[in-house]
Amino acid sequence: MKKILAMVVALFWLEAPAQDKVKITGEGVEVESGKDRVKITTEGVEAVESGGTRVKITAPQVEASTQENAAGEQSDTAADLPEVPPQGLKKIPPIVCQSNKDQEYTRVLIVGKKDGVLVQGNCDIILRDSHIDVEGYGVNVQGNGNVKLIRTFVRGKKGAVMIMGNGDVSASSSTLVGPIKQMGNGEFTDQGNNTIRKR
C-alpha cells in the first residue's frame, strides 16, 4: 500500500495543474482544486466535491454521504423511500364512515389511491398497530366523528391528516408522514411519543 501511495503522490505532483494546491503530509497527499479536494492516505481515498458530496473509499468498503446527511438532516430521497409495513397485517379497503356506528381496527393495512380513513358521519374510529399508505389523505374527517391512532403508521400523499368537520383526530406512539391540515372546528391532538414528518 505504501508503494502505491508513493506512486500516487508522484503522479499528483507531476500531473496536477499549476493552479492546484498539492500538499504532502506524513499521512499522504492532499490536492485542492478550487472547492474540490482529494485526500489520499494509507487508509484509503477521500474526495469532497464543491457541491458537498463526500466519497470515502477504505478497504474493504465504500462510504458515501452528502453535506446535508453529514449534518444529520434527512434528504428528500431518503424521505421518499417507502415505509415497509410489518408482516401479518390484514389488508382491507379504505375505511368510510357515513353512520353513527363506532369502529375499531387492529393490525390492518390500508393502501390505495383514495383516503385511508374518511369520516363523514358521527362515528368514532380507533386504529391500533396498523399501517396506512395512500395517495389521498391518510385520515380525512369531514363529519363529527373522531379518529384515534395508536401505534399506527399513516402516510398520505395529500396529507397525513385533514380535519374539515367538527371531529377530532388524536395520535399516540404513531408515525405520521405528510402535512396535518385543519379547516374545521375540530383539532389534532398529539398524545405523545409520535413521529411527525411533513413528507
45's grid cell: 481515498
Short-list 59, 64, 63, CA closest to 5: 59
Percent of the chain with pLDDT over 70: 62
Answer yes or no: is pLDDT of 13 > 60. Answer: no
Answer yes or no: is pLDDT of 167 > 80. Answer: yes
Give me the pLDDT at residue 103, please.
96
> What is the per-residue pLDDT across 153-163, written as a single tens digit (0 to 9) for each?
999 999 999 99
Side-chain half-sphere exposure of 4, counting CA atoms within 13 A:
7
> What is the per-residue pLDDT across 143-153, written as a single tens digit (0 to 9) for each?
899 999 999 99
The whole-number average pLDDT for the span 165-178 is 96
User: With bands split at pLDDT 50, 70 and 90, how would you rate the model's confidence at 75?
Assistant: very low
Cα gap 69→181, rounded to integer Å: 29
Short-list 168, 114, 109, CA closest to 138: 114
Domain residue limits, the chain: 2-75, 90-197
Cα gap 62→147, rounded to integer Å: 46
> What is the per-residue pLDDT across 100-144, written as a single tens digit (0 to 9) for each?
989 999 999 999 999 999 999 999 999 999 999 999 999 999 989
Task: For residue 109, report the phi and psi dihedrals to the nearest 5 degrees.
Answer: -120, 125
Answer yes or no: is pLDDT of 31 > 80. Answer: no
24 CA to centre of own chain: 41
Calculate the average pLDDT of the chain. 78
pTM of the model: 0.60
Lowest mean pLDDT segment, chosen from 64-68, 155-159, 190-194: 64-68
